[in-house]
């Protein structure tokens, strides 16, 4: 099996990571991998912001404040979990989508392209010996969260967080489902038309 296939088949998310995060050169590679996501209509919908060092745990404070301001305070246990998660994370990539301003390409397709970019970043991080974790917790779906993080409230949709670093505890190999349970053949003579 090629080393590329081995990398793809061994990727797994790791939530609790610490330094070292990616070096500047590694981060460039990870972000270049994001630019290889399929992108219908060449919309280039990917918008990212990088939080590093002390700005990472500060993300929780932003979520707490926005949730409070919107009258939907985050439950204490969720805040505690978020603080525990981000305490040692060296890098969080804030993920957003700017859909086609001309409306030719469906918004959903631009969001799918951002998701594909995130997948590429997870795989790139793994190929570089790092681990990542994609989260839509911590206020992702609050109305004002994207703007609070510096995304344009008019046309940039905040989509969550991608943490990258080095596992604090050695990860156990993940159990994966048998792909055959999710796949079937399709033949024209069975079409329901």
Ligand X SMILES: Cc1cc2nc3c(=O)[nH]c(=O)nc-3n(C[C@H](O)[C@H](O)[C@H](O)COP(=O)(O)O)c2cc1C
Q: Rank residues 175 and 190 by Cβ distance to ligand X and give the closer one.
A: 175
Q: Strands, DSSP E only, in 38-88?
A: 46-52
- 7 lies in the site for ligand X, by CB under 6 A: no
**Smallest gap, in angstroms, from Cβ of residue 157 to ligand X?**
13
Q: Which of residues 117-136 bind ligand X (CB under 6 A)?
A: 133-136
Instruction: Identify which of 32, 27, 33 has the alpha carbon closest to the alpha carbon of residue 4.
Output: 33
**Smallest gap, in angstroms, from Cβ of residue 128 to ligand X?**
17
Q: In the beta sheet, which residues pair with residue 132? A: 164
Instruction: Identify which of 114, 132, 129, 118 has the alpha carbon closest to the alpha carbon of residue 14.
Output: 132
Tokens representing 81 are 């979990």
Residue from the set 13, 52, 81, 166 that interacts with ligand X by CB under 6 A? 13
Dihedral sign computed on CA atoms, order 28, 146, 149, 21 = negative
Q: Which of residues 150-179 bind ligand X (CB under 6 A)?
A: 160, 174
Instruction: Identify which of 152, 192, 139, 125 has the alpha carbon closest to the alpha carbon of residue 47.
Output: 152
**Smallest gap, in angstroms, from Cβ of residue 141 to ligand X?**
10
Q: Rank residues 75 and 189 by Cβ distance to ligand X and give the closer one.
A: 75
**Smallest gap, in angstroms, from Cβ of residue 165 to ligand X?**
14
**Smallest gap, in angstroms, from Cβ of residue 76 to ligand X?**
17
Q: Rank residues 57 and 137 by Cβ distance to ligand X and give the closer one.
A: 137
Q: Rank residues 5 and 42 by Cβ distance to ligand X and give the closer one.
A: 5
**DSSP-based three-state secondary structure for 72:** coil
Residue from the set 137, 144, 148, 168 that interacts with ligand X by CB under 6 A? 137
Contacts of 10 (CB under 8 A, 6+ apart): 126, 173
- 12 lies in the site for ligand X, by CB under 6 A: yes
Pairwise CA distance, residues 172 & 22, whole Å:
22
Binding site for ligand X (CB under 6 A): 12-13, 133-137, 160, 174
């Amino acid at each position: 099996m090629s080393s590329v296939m081995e990398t793809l088949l061994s990727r797994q998310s790791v939530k609790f990571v610490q330094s070292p995060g990616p070096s500047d050169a590694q981060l460039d590679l990870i972000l270049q991998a994001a630019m290889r996501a399929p992108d219908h209509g060449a919309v280039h919908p990917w918008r990212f912001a990088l939080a590093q060092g002390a700005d990472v745990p500060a993300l929780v404070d932003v979520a707490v404040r926005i949730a409070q301001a919107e009258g939907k305070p985050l439950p204490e246990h969720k805040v505690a979990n978020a603080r525990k998660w981000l305490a040692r994370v060296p890098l969080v990539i804030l993920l957003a989508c700017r859909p086609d301003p001309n409306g030719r390409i469906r918004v959903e397709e631009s969001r799918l392209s951002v998701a594909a970019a995130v997948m590429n970043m997870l795989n790139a991080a793994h190929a570089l010996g790092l681990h990542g974790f994609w989260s839509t917790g911590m206020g992702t779906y609050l109305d004002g969260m994207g703007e609070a993080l510096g995304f344009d409230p008019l046309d940039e949709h905040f989509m969550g967080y991608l943490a990258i670093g080095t596992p604090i505890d050695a990860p156990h190999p993940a159990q994966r489902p048998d792909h055959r349970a999710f796949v079937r053949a399709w033949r024209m003579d069975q079409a329901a038309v």
